[in-house]
Homo-oligomer: A and B are copies of this chain.
Amino acid sequence: MPGVDDVDRRIIAALRTNGRVTYADLGRQVGLSASAVHERVGKLETTGVITGYHAVVDPRTVGLGVTALVGIQLSDNGEQEEVATSLGRQPEVESCYAVAGDEAFIVKVRVGTVDELEHTLGRLRRLEGVSRTRTTVVLSTRFEGRPNPVEHYGDPDVEQAGR
């Protein structure tokens, strides 16, 4: 588990910005041959730094115009792991974070209509181990999943030592 060096960071930044750049282009951007970049990207993938490449779709264009953030409280005997698993089975739940505070999870839900939201919330509330939900409706997404700028990528070791 080696360090991610400076060239890797620039490769990562480029791939976060455009996940479909060719290795040839990437090489031009970072000043390496296509084969060298190919090799490095392969290593970043197998070491788990890059976990995948995904097209991002405007949810409204595919009938998912309603987004909500939902806090999930466990019941007294609620098992955190089991609830997490159940949440993972709900297709409307796009992201799931275990959080500090009196809620066990905050999840992001995407559905087509408020009708559907009502349905989905009912389903979440009825999951084994869940006592309460608290829903915040998203009115508009200003920006989302923005690639963090390059200068914010660092070697984890350096980060921990240096502050």
A113 on the interface (CB 8 Å rule)?
A: yes
Report B-chain residues with C-beta under 8 Å of the C-beta of A69: 69, 97, 99, 106
Asked whether A138 and B99 contact (CB < 8 A) given A51-B57, A94-B148, A148-B110, the answer is yes
Cβ contact within 8 Å between B159 and A112? yes
The chain B residue sitting closest to A60, CB to CB, is B156
Report B-chain residues with C-beta under 8 Å of the C-beta of A99: 69, 136-139
Cβ contact within 8 Å between A112 and B154? yes
Cβ contact within 8 Å between B62 and A153? yes
For the complex of A and B, list the 5 residue pairs with the smallest distance between their C-beta atoms, beginning with the closest: A15-B55, A19-B53, A63-B154, A63-B159, A96-B142
